[in-house]
Amino acid sequence: MKPPRQAAALRDIRSLMRPHLVTAEPYEGVEPPEVLAQQAGIPEERLVKLNGNENPYGPSPKVAAALGRYRRYHLYPDPQQRHLRQMLAEYAGTSPDRVVAGAGSDELIDLLLRLFVGPGEGVIDCPPTFAMYATFIHLLGARLVLAPRDEAFGLDLRGIEEGARRGAKLVFVASPNNPTGNTTSEGTVRRLLELGLVVVVDEAYFEFTNQTVAPLVPHHANLVVLRTFSKWAGLAGLRLGYGIMDPTVAERLLAIKAPYNVNLAAEVAVEASLEDRDLLMSRVKAIVQARDQLREELARIPGVATFPSTANFLLCRMPHGKGRWVYQELARRGIFVRDFNTPLLQDCFRTSVGLPEENQALVKGLESIFEQGG
């Protein structure tokens, strides 16, 4: 006779899974171009992909050349990330013992939670914000403590204080915040640091704002700043993020991460990107200018409201009850934005700032949608 556990497993393998993961909702990542093009029934070349806050100019041309030249892909990367951490530290104006790299900053969000938070312990999330925080908190079996932002998307300091008082171990603050585009001031971050919990300031869009709290890191062991090469350097597909933190935290993250978490192609691409910093920053500047122009043009369309943004995307609100419809009409025209329409972001979508012609396609698309039936 089979032992009962095995018999149950044969009936339903889910009975062997951790109960909270049997029903866990996946993070809704952005679909790749070929899937979107198929959905819209158009060739990929006609797709206007504005749903991922990706860099429309792509990586520096030096990246492809360096990847082609590199000869050591058959070897494992350095588990201590020595060369990579050195390069990142120089770029960020800090020392290598304060830097850890991840397969995207996503991986560092997960690792930080695993380092500081146990199942059932509280983590403060400030919605509307980057949904990966809540996803990882849930996967860990930790407790999601919500401190929703106010109408202007500023932080609810009282709510965060209350969460900390009740024992929450960590708070995530994206600055600029995704999807709202606003930043959190250094003064506010200083107040959070005084609460004694771990404060993770996610500066994924730093290069678009030039506002950072990284200089506070040497004075506060409970501050971690996250950055990425996905946005300013156009390396989203190669997955390279990094954190700036207290050396003790860095040492522990290096100890608990998978040994070869960052692949060698990403490391080669970082080196080539840093060598081509001027070109990449001139593109960042172009994106910032295009963002402000796009905002002006969208504001001229009756019914469309936009929020100020310091990043490479804009949050837009459609007339009451029309958000979903506008999203679908845009998609039908091959224009893909990120649909939110949650209670905190009713009738909203977020659009990346694309190439000038992509931004024009969005403006024209919205104009035609509202002429037709707005």
* Options 99, 131, 236, 353; binder of ligand PLP; rule CB under 6 A: 236
The answer to whether residue 288 forms part of the interface with ligand PLP (CB under 6 A) is no
In the complex with ligand PLP, which residue's Cβ is closer, 58 or 319? 58
Total length of the chain = 374
Instruction: Give the 3-state secondary structure of residue 263.
Output: coil
- For CA atoms 336, 108, 176, 121, the dihedral sign is positive
Residue 235 CB, shortest distance to ligand PLP, in Å, is 8
The strand pairing partners of 99, in sequence order, are: 244
The answer to whether residue 124 forms part of the interface with ligand PLP (CB under 6 A) is no
Rounded Cα gap, residues 363 and 206, in angstroms:
27
- Strands 198-202 and 223-228 turn out to be parallel
The residue behind tokens 């290069």 is 207
The number of beta carbons lying within 10 Å of the beta carbon of residue 307 is 17
Instruction: Give the 3-state secondary structure of residue 272.
Output: helix
The answer to whether residue 128 forms part of the interface with ligand PLP (CB under 6 A) is no
The answer to whether residue 200 forms part of the interface with ligand PLP (CB under 6 A) is no
The answer to whether residue 312 forms part of the interface with ligand PLP (CB under 6 A) is no
Amino acid type, 285 = K
The answer to whether residue 106 forms part of the interface with ligand PLP (CB under 6 A) is yes
The answer to whether residue 273 forms part of the interface with ligand PLP (CB under 6 A) is no
The answer to whether residue 174 forms part of the interface with ligand PLP (CB under 6 A) is yes
Stretch that binds ligand PLP, among 98-106, 193-201, 271-279, 283-291 (CB under 6 A): 98-106
Size of the site for ligand PLP (CB under 6 A): 13
Stretch that binds ligand PLP, among 13-21, 102-110, 326-334, 359-367 (CB under 6 A): 102-110
Residue 228 CB, shortest distance to ligand PLP, in Å, is 3
- The residues, ordered by sequence, that sit 6+ positions from 168 with a Cβ below 8 Å of its Cβ are 121, 122, 123, 124, 143, 145, 197
Stretch that binds ligand PLP, among 20-28, 101-109, 184-192, 290-298 (CB under 6 A): 101-109
| Nearest one of 208, 118, 196 to 163, comparing CA atoms | 196
Q: Which residue of this chain has its Cβ atom nearest to ligand PLP in the complex?
A: 104
The answer to whether residue 136 forms part of the interface with ligand PLP (CB under 6 A) is no
Q: Is the peptide bond before 176 cis (omega within 30 degrees of 0)?
A: yes
Residue 319 CB, shortest distance to ligand PLP, in Å, is 27
The answer to whether residue 204 forms part of the interface with ligand PLP (CB under 6 A) is yes
- The 215-234 site mask, x for binding ligand PLP (CB under 6 A), equals -------------x-x----
- Strands 338-339 and 348-352 turn out to be antiparallel
> Which H or E run contains 309?
none
State the residues that interact with ligand PLP by CB under 6 A. Answer: 53, 104-106, 130, 174, 178, 202, 204, 228, 230, 236, 241
